[in-house]
Amino acid sequence: MASGIKDKVAILGMGCSKFGERWDKEADDLMVEAFEEALGDAGIETKQINAAWLATAIEEQHVGKSGVPLAVALRLPYIPVTRVENYCASGTEAFRGAVYAVASGAADIALAMGCEKLKDTGYGGLPQRSRGVLNSMSWANFSAPGAFAQLAAAYRAKHRAPAEDVKRAMAHISVKSHDNGAKNAKAHLRNKINIDTVLQAPVVAEPLGLYDCCGVSDGAACAIVTTPEIARSLGKTDLISVKALQLSVSNGQEAQYNAWDGSHFVTTRTASKRAYHEAGIRDPRTDISLIEVHDCFSVTELVTMEDLYISKEGEAVKDVLDGFYDADGELPCQIDGGLKCFGHPIGASGLRMIYEIYLQMQGRAGPRQRRDSPRFALTTTSAASRTRTSALSPSSANMGNSSNGLSRTPLILRPRTGRDSAPIRGLPR
């Protein structure tokens, strides 16, 4: 019977490049920038790394295929290097590979790197090229803003929420992200905005306006993981460990049958429940101290609050407008600016989320540091047919992932307390 990865893996070091329009840097420069910070943080040498994973989503635009670009950029010592791709959850997929390698005993120290260099293409958003015959047939008229605008419409219809209330909650989310990003020296967008600017912005796909949409960025993020025992032998004391890692991938039923009303993400709900049970989270709303979610659009963050069982169904709008998820609120979300403002280099975003949680748990987040160190923290990333949920904590590990026509990855971090798993209050079995 599978025993899971809880308490088997600790983060030894992390690094992240500055995100943005990095015209003066190549993809390998960005990987080196993130790696040098992670290596210095870990306090090891490159020769001590046993295996590595590289995440890129649109590799044709920059690094190319295979794991060779990572091995060359970092001059890795002829070790196994695997390239992975899982849409926007690619960075967490690389992290999952490294974590599994350490948890299984296949590697003592493993590296996960996520990188994307998209701004050189000239596109304002994602470069348009075929994703294969199946997607070209089933997604012939697909656009990301159009798809998530339908999510907003379905959410409003299901909960009979006034359009103006949902729009204002989405605007609050965008203003919050800009406020938080302004405190982050590595963020792509550091300008503050106000509610009126968001509400009066041009419409991209009703009800999504300009400021409800995240762009794409150049950037890289990196994690080095090992066992808690090795970490301690290297002099580490305040360990941040993985508590759970779950992945859920849609089988297509949501889009092909009428059982799904389009107002939520099945995969996120599936992955989060698995991760909570593995990590011993009894009540996500009170147990979790900090979250990073996939806010490709403001409505995605709004709906995800309910799919993570933090806000009750139909009540995320109220929680958002009440400031529950603000930086000084009960449960901060996107305290680093999120995809919206920190930036969204597709292959790096999942690792960037973990990077922020890691800094917050060690009290190293600078101007955006939470007054109270997080007990549990969670991240979730999404892509077009998967969802990932992950949980981390000092000196123990628990992560979870889920997916439903999209990919999502929640990550939870927490100080090790030895709490046992228990039924989760308010969650359906």
Q: Active-site positions? A: 88, 344
Residues 6+ apart with CB under 8 A from 349: 88, 91, 114, 221, 294, 339, 381
What helix, strand, coil percent values describe the chain, rounded to 5? 40, 20, 45
What does the alpha-carbon distance between residue 48 and residue 68 come to, in Å, rounded to a whole number? 19
What does the alpha-carbon distance between residue 378 and residue 393 come to, in Å, rounded to a whole number? 10
Under 8 Å between Cβ of 338 and 292: yes
For 193, phi then psi, to 5°, come to -135, 170
Q: Which amino acid is at 299?
A: V
Which segments of 349-422 does DSSP mark as H helices, in order? Answer: 349-361
Cα–Cα–Cα angle for 11, 17, 20, rounded to 5 degrees:
140
Under 8 Å between Cβ of 90 and 383: yes
Q: Which amino acid is at 411?
A: L
Neighbour-count burial of 168, counting CB atoms closer than 10 A to its CB (0-12 exposed, 13-18 middle, 19+ buried)? middle
Q: Which long-range contacts (CB under 8 A, 24 or more apart) does 156-160 make?
A: 157/261, 157/263, 158/261, 158/263, 158/314, 159/263, 159/313, 159/314
Q: Which amino acid is at 218?
A: D
3-class DSSP assignment, residue 302: helix
Residue 101 neighbours by CB distance under 10 Å:
24
DSSP-derived letter for residue 421 is P
